[in-house]
Amino acid sequence: MFTRASRFAPVLALAGSAAVLVAASPEPIDHAINARIRAEARDRSQIMQTLHVLTDVYGPRLTGSPNHKAAAEWAVTEMKKWGFDNGSLEEWDFGHPGWLNERLSAHVVSPVKDALVGEALAWTNGTDGPVRAAATQLILPERPTADELKTYLDGKAAAVAGKVVLVGAGKPVPVNFSKAPLRRDYDDLTAMLDPVNPRAPQFGPGGPAGRQAPVVEPGRLTPRQINEQVDAFLVANKVRVRINDGGRDHGQIRAFNNPSFDGATAPPTMILRNEDFGRIARLLADGRPVELDVDIVNRWYPEGRTSYNAVAEIAGSDKASEVIMLGGHLDSWHAATGATDNAIGVAVMMEAARIVKTLGLKPRRTIRVALWGGEEQGLLGSKAYVAKHFGTAEAPTAEFATFGGYLNVDSGTGRIRGASVFGPPEAGRILREIFAPFEDLGIVGATVTKSRSTGGTDSTSFNAAGLPGIGLMQDPIEYQSYTWHTNLDTYERIVEDDVKKSAAMIASALYHLAMRDDLLPRFTGTEMPAPAPAARPSTPTPTAPAPTAPAATPTRQ
């Protein structure tokens, strides 16, 4: 329907004339400022240096770990160097110790000799020095009741005692003949963001469709209950190491955490790449004895019970008491250095704010960068921040009224292609008009959401409180297919051109939101949707996809 050459124009015309939308004056856009923002983002970018430090020097940045805290301190120091004010770490209670893997080596030593590729499961103990032991495998009954599982495990006690135990059958991962696209399709995105008749977002693998809690028949155990019971059984039988299957192709490993965050509840545990798990499982299935060497060194940090959000500001002028926020989560999983999840979100936001500061743009409202901890454990840092600073629509603090929006990036290296804001249609119109001058960089529009459910990333902590969280939709590139939570999430997977362009677009949005006469329109009074009934479970089980997966459109469930 719309041509690529002028994709925004018809939308704006429609927005001004369609009965369902509030008629409004066009949003004032400062094209001269936008040109300066583009030049700074392109010619004097700091973003790759920021990304290098966040990933290579401080990665992985697991919540509660000294790496995470050091990264937060570095980010604040860096922003202060750039001239930001009020840089600080704001404490929040994580309640679990910090944990880091320091070493992991694993080898099959008989009947073949090979180095294995694996990752430690977070918040489990390491081995007490190098372990050499026979391997065995537990192929659990499917969807068992508690009694069925107990009967099965009781029968395996002698078989597992003192051994290295592969848990699960191992997953065949066929060649993928339907590779995920690297860029969003323009027509699809346009339809999704159509302000008059938006189409429901299409989610790829790992998106919300894959995140539904499995339906468990009455009397049957949930996957988490099964996992707890298996871990207790393995600990009771002095199993030396538990091994889970990576279950993904091309050696990818997604390593999550021991749900209890307590080393005593699980044996030392590692996730082995599917290829190595499969080889051992097939050798065992032949009846061949298999012997493994495993050496895992993990370290616990009691001080990790206190975690941090890193914040810094660019002071506003005549509307300094009003705040535009932007950020992303600084914490990461531990299988790699957390480049696309989410050093990029952090670096894009730091860079966007740096551009505004370094160009001397003097925003009317205060701009505040916030870099969260605990996102991967359930948006913990941003939830704590919102609760403390803003409360909720139903129980607001004084800051609630003067909040002008929170921009969030958390979907990998792909450039931003659209936005979703919690608020009335007028909020969507304003964002569309602010982003319109960047259609040449690929951004298509903005949509609105009324959902107060928390979802895959920190913007939904704001939505849940009734505040305008703004989630950015991005090109998928290799996010769900390769980098999200995997051992491949490194600096190498950053597309420099994309992250620079994202920073330019965010800088402009930030500036224009900070300069307009009024705050971004919000739901008020009876328009405010009811709070979501209950939060979903926030901790992934080690063998299942993480329920905190960032969605393709982060502010929708």
What is the footprint of a second copy within residues 62-101 (CB under 8 A)? Answer: 100-101
Q: Is 488 in the site for a second copy (CB under 8 A)?
A: yes
Q: Is 241 in the site for a second copy (CB under 8 A)?
A: no
Q: Is 269 in the site for a second copy (CB under 8 A)?
A: no
SS (H, E, C) 214-238: CCCCCCECCHHHHHHHHHHHHHHCC
- Nearest alpha carbon to residue 465 among 402, 527, 383: 383
> What CA–CA distance (Å, rounded) separates 164 from 186?
50
Q: Is 490 in the site for a second copy (CB under 8 A)?
A: yes
Binds a second copy (CB under 8 A): choice among 5, 32, 128, 177: 177
Binding range to a second copy, per CB under 8 A, among 86-94, 245-253, 387-395, 422-430: 245-253
Q: How far is the CB of 126 from a second copy (least distance, A)?
A: 12
Contact 417, 442 (CB under 8 A): yes
Alpha helices (runs of H) in 390-495, residue ranges in sequence order: 425-435, 459-465
C-alpha dihedral (334, 335, 341, 342), degrees to nearest 10:
40
Q: How far is CA 399 from CA 4, 364, 391, 528, in A?
A: 41, 17, 9, 18
Tell me whether residue 277 or residue 511 sits nearer to a second copy (CB atom).
277
Binds a second copy (CB under 8 A): choice among 39, 56, 196, 236: 56
Q: Is 104 in the site for a second copy (CB under 8 A)?
A: yes
Q: Is 278 in the site for a second copy (CB under 8 A)?
A: yes
Binding range to a second copy, per CB under 8 A, among 177-185, 319-327, 437-445, 512-520: 177-185
Q: How far is the CB of 102 from a second copy (least distance, A)?
A: 4
> What CA–CA distance (Å, rounded) separates 142 from 415?
42
Q: Is 337 in the site for a second copy (CB under 8 A)?
A: yes
The separation between CA 519 and the C-alpha centre of its own chain, rounded to angstroms, equals 28
Binds a second copy (CB under 8 A): choice among 42, 44, 282, 305: 282
Q: How far is CA 439 from CA 105, 301, 535, in A?
A: 49, 47, 36
> What CA–CA distance (Å, rounded) separates 432 from 426?
10
- Looking at this protein, which amino acid is placed at residue 140? L
Q: Is 320 in the site for a second copy (CB under 8 A)?
A: no
Neighbours of 288 (CB within 10 A): 12
DSSP-derived letter for residue 86 is E
- Looking at this protein, which amino acid is placed at residue 456? G
Q: Is 175 in the site for a second copy (CB under 8 A)?
A: yes
Binds a second copy (CB under 8 A): choice among 478, 502, 507, 550: 478
Binds a second copy (CB under 8 A): choice among 20, 57, 196, 213: 57
Q: What residues are paired with 449 via a beta bridge?
A: 422
Cα–Cα–Cα angle for 166, 168, 169, rounded to 5 degrees: 105
Q: Is 61 in the site for a second copy (CB under 8 A)?
A: no
Binds a second copy (CB under 8 A): choice among 199, 238, 250, 305: 250
Tell me whether residue 214 or residue 287 sits nearer to a second copy (CB atom).
287
* String marking each residue 195-214 x if it binds a second copy according to CB under 8 A: --------------------
* Contact residues: a second copy, CB under 8 A: 52, 55-57, 59, 100-105, 107, 111-113, 115, 117, 172-175, 177, 179, 182, 249-252, 274-275, 278-279, 282-283, 286, 288, 295, 336-337, 413, 477-478, 482, 487-488, 490-493, 495
